Amino acid sequence: MRILLCLSLCFAVLLSGCASIVCGSDKRVFISSVPTGADFTIENARGYVTSEGVTPATVSLKRGRGWFKAGDYKITFSKEGCRQTTFPMEQGLETGWYIVGNLFFGGLIGIVIVDPLTGAMWDIQDVRVSLDCD
């Protein structure tokens, strides 16, 4: 019975991805601007609006959009009296939990399957922008 329990525990650990467990598939991103009160719109890689609001704000975004694909968002800011600004949101590997965590806990299955499918391997940076105003 102990062997079965031990094997089950080992199997569960091997089928987990460290970044998926710790970070999850969504990321809360803080959006701010100078001056404050700017309207913003976030579009995903397909051009669909995923979030919109007024700065400062916090939004929840999906980290990935498929196996080994980052979310790839772009954000547009607009405010009366300021030039409209659009740029891609910075997104990179969640190196701490994805790489180092999986070396110790998630293993090859976490690195190649679980974290890439859930998108947890990706990190999205907070956005702070200074608008060009008259």
- Residue by residue, DSSP assigns 42-110 as EE-TTS-EEEEEESSEEEEEESBSSTT-B---EEEEE-TTB--EEEEPPEEE-HIIIIIIIIIIIHHHI
Any domain includes 3:
no
Q: What is the pLDDT of residue 122?
A: 77
Q: What is the pLDDT of residue 16?
A: 44
Residue listed under structure tokens 């579009």: 43
Any domain includes 10:
no
Any domain includes 79:
yes
Residue listed under structure tokens 């790489």: 99
Q: Is 4 helix (H, G, I), strand (E, B) or coil?
A: helix
Any domain includes 9:
no
Q: Whole-prediction pTM value? A: 0.73
Domain CATH for 32? 2.60.40
Q: What is the pLDDT of residues 81-125, one digit of tens each?
A: 999 999 998 887 776 655 666 666 656 666 666 666 676 777 889
Any domain includes 85:
yes
Domain count within the chain: 1
Q: What is the pLDDT of residues 38-87, one digit of tens each?
A: 999 999 989 999 999 999 999 999 877 777 676 789 999 999 999 999 99
Q: What is the pLDDT of residue 115?
A: 63
Q: What is the pLDDT of residue 78?
A: 96
Q: How far is CA 130 from CA 25, 87, 115, in A?
A: 29, 13, 34
- Residue by residue, DSSP assigns 10-46 as HHHHHT--HHHHHT-SEEEEEEEEESS--EEEEE-TT
- In this prediction, residue 15 has a pLDDT band, given cuts at 50, 70 and 90, of very low
Any domain includes 77:
yes
Give the pLDDT mean for 15-35: 71
Domain enclosing residue 104, as ranges: 15-130
Any domain includes 126:
yes
Any domain includes 1:
no
Q: What is the pLDDT of residue 11?
A: 47
Q: What is the pLDDT of residue 87?
A: 92
- In this prediction, residue 23 has a pLDDT band, given cuts at 50, 70 and 90, of low
